Structure 1
């Protein structure tokens, strides 16, 4: 266990509804009720004098294109010292509920653009990429895998090339189920974690940077 962040570090969580987790968007310091909030709470409890500031800029329903569109509004003003990104499931989901197809080429271009902007604007800021995931609790979403699988491979490849940390959440949730968790304990709809699922993701995130 170690105090990974320097005093006063600004940590930004960027993504879709999984990160958003019902945060109060009128309050720029509200962390929501998901993994981002749990990470902030655990870290602050362990190191109450660290002065680390945590920011949540997740918005439900967002795809990569949305994160790119609001980058200058939501990321740049924070001037983060560490950026955690979780996005991708909606780029698949919108194909099946709205017919909006994001090709693998477009997905890779957009994700590369996002990571490239962060790297260019915040050269010294480490990046954590969290893999998009789908748990087996909704049979109707099984078809999503044909679109999601190649996108996960793209995320994994880009993280290896451009990020500092890669959290293989799908693999980690699989391990949790092998250890005795049921899929429904982790996510009722396969996409959005339960409180237990968020807690599990938060612990794995903190273990990734060596805090736990």
Structure 2
């Protein structure tokens, strides 16, 4: 258990993190963030941990940059968990005419965001690998994700961050041939997908 009493954990990312948080009276959303919050609330009630969801649907790393000061730096959390990269790849597939965020741009922007966190806050950093794009291991999306996953690994090492191997775990699950759907559309999570994300996050932080 890495968390100390009364710490605040901020989770930021795209729609997978967002999970309709604006429709949720608790503003935690209905995805993996809720499962993580509920686990720690039930297991360690004496810790009095608080979880803040700052996911926004459709976000790429460049969108995080546009709201980083307000949603991260100003909040000054004790822990910052980042899950980003799916839309940086997905937009290349479903909207190729728009300006794209390729791996080198992804790394440059992401690096700058984490550098700001280290310089301006006390937050410890948690980096989640982007999950999957389609439930076929060798889909175009999953092949294109590989360099983005590698960027997350490099940044985790550079910033001494906790690395949550969500892409690896999802691929391993698909390879097991269970035939259980993890996503509703190749990207957004089913309840099983959310549970796999939350379980991986919790195990990594244990």
Structure 1 match to 2:10: 12
Structure 2 match to 1:203: 199
CA distance in 1 between partners of 2:55 and 2:85 (Å):
12
How large is the Cα RMSD of the aligned pairs? 2.2
1:26 to 1:181, Cα distance in 2 relative to 1, 3 A: closer
CA distance in 2 between partners of 1:204 and 1:15 (Å):
17
Structure 1 position 158 matched with structure 2 position 148: no
SS of match in other structure, 2:30: coil
Structure 1 position 118 matched with structure 2 position 117: yes
If the length of structure 2 is used for normalisation, what is the TM-score?
A: 0.90
SS of match in other structure, 2:74: helix
Structure 1 position 47 matched with structure 2 position 68: no
Deviations 1:151-197 (A, max 9, x none): 2111111112114211111211133334564252x113221121111
SS of match in other structure, 2:22: coil
Structure 1 position 73 matched with structure 2 position 73: no
If the length of structure 1 is used for normalisation, what is the TM-score?
A: 0.87
Name segments (4+ residues, structure 1) moved above 6 Å: none
Structure 1 position 194 matched with structure 2 position 190: yes
CA distance in 1 between partners of 2:124 and 2:46 (Å):
22
SS of match in other structure, 1:55: strand
Aligned length: 204
CA distance in 2 between partners of 1:126 and 1:62 (Å):
22
1:105 to 1:136, Cα distance in 2 relative to 1, 3 A: closer
Query: Of residues 151, 173, 178 in structure 2, which corresponds to 1:176?
Result: 173
C-alpha displacement of 1:203 = 1.3
Which ranges in structure 1 are unaligned for 5 or more consecutive residues? Answer: none
Bigger shift: 50-59 or 157-166? Answer: 157-166
